[in-house]
Homo-oligomer: A and B are copies of this chain.
Amino acid sequence: MTDLKHRILSRVSADLSDIEIAISQNLSPHLDLVSEVARHILFSGGKRLRPLLMVLSARICGYQESDAVPFSAIFEYLHAATLLHDDLVDGATLRRGQKAAHHIWGNPTAVLVGDFLLARSLSLAAKTEQPRIISTIAGITETMSQGEIHQLQLKGNPTITEADYMEVIRRKTAVLFEGACRSGALLADASEEKVIALGRYGADLGLAFQMADDLLDYVSNTRVLGKTVGADLREGKLTLPVIYALQKTGKEKKDWILDMISRSDFSVQDFESLVKILHESGGIDYTKTMAKRYVESAKDSIGIFSLSPTRNLLMDIADYALSRKM
């Protein structure tokens, strides 16, 4: 465990225990099968980063009530719902080192339990009785589903631009981080300035987080990753390291990459050759640089808050986005 990870975890262990209980207690399905499938995805080693961000965002705005934690489960349910549907959409076989739910229970059950978790998160949101929080949360799902569809449309398209990529990850990932932070601020009845600052912090952190995640597909291995290395590419998902390399590398290597990504059955050797090109062309470094830039921007946003342990923690969490897996 890295020092940074250790430093973060030691300060949030009480919050994480509370969040764990809230996720379990607020599920309340009528059917055992729903419970079983939901628990498979909810309790398979998630980091609870999204609920944690909501709780810390409320806290940095001075919120003292204990209901931030139960409401924070909303963001883990939303996250789990999208994982269930996305793994099915992507035909993914592994999730966090375990069989993906649709592989165990079949597509119908994965679709319907995803729907249940989506609805459960919105029922919990309704309990806040705060229209702005409810709108934020309903808006997240609307945006995320469209981000996933946009990604689906771009699959295997080698002309995808950096702008396309940014738009997809903003919708499919950043919006949920943004919504968690924003909802925490709204729950605390914070000033508009603080609501906006925390929303920006979340959005930028989400972008950095997704970039770091996409990078892992090229610089990690299956055991650490909990899913097959090169899976993004096999699914036809072109992420920033590849997009940048296609733009910067010479015609010969570019043609080689294009040929490779047109086949989902490329060999391990081919994949290693690709990773080498991504390094040489600067695709890996560029992605790291951009992720760092968003982390800095996230940290800047919360500069408006006075110094406090919670502010330090949010700063550290931003830094940690770069050194995934947390």
Report which A residues bind B (CB closer than 8 A): 29-31, 33-34, 85, 88-90, 107-109, 111-116, 118-120, 122-123, 125-127, 129, 131, 134-135, 138-142, 144-146, 148-150, 152-153
Copies in the complex: 2
Smallest Cβ distance from A311 to chain B, in angstroms? 30
Give the contacting residue for A129; candidates B111, B131, B141, B149; CB below 8 A: B131
A111 contact set on B, CB distance < 8 A? 85, 88-89, 111, 114
Which residues does chain B contribute within 8 Å of A115, judged by CB atoms?
85, 114-115, 118, 141, 144-145, 148
Of A109, A111, A120, A123, most buried by chain B (CB within 10 Å of CB) is A111
Interchain CB contact under 8 A, B122 and A152: no
By a CB distance below 8 angstroms, the chain B residues around A34 are 145-146, 149
On chain B, the residues within 8 Å of A118 by CB distance are: 115, 118-119, 141
Query: How close is A222's CB to chain B, nearest CB, in angstroms?
Result: 24
Q: What's the minimum C-beta distance from A38 to chain B, rounded to whole angstroms?
A: 11
**17 A-B pairs whose Cβ atoms sit less than 8 Å apart in the complex:** A29-B146, A33-B153, A85-B115, A88-B108, A109-B152, A113-B145, A113-B149, A116-B145, A116-B149, A118-B141, A119-B139, A119-B142, A120-B142, A122-B122, A122-B141, A129-B131, A134-B134
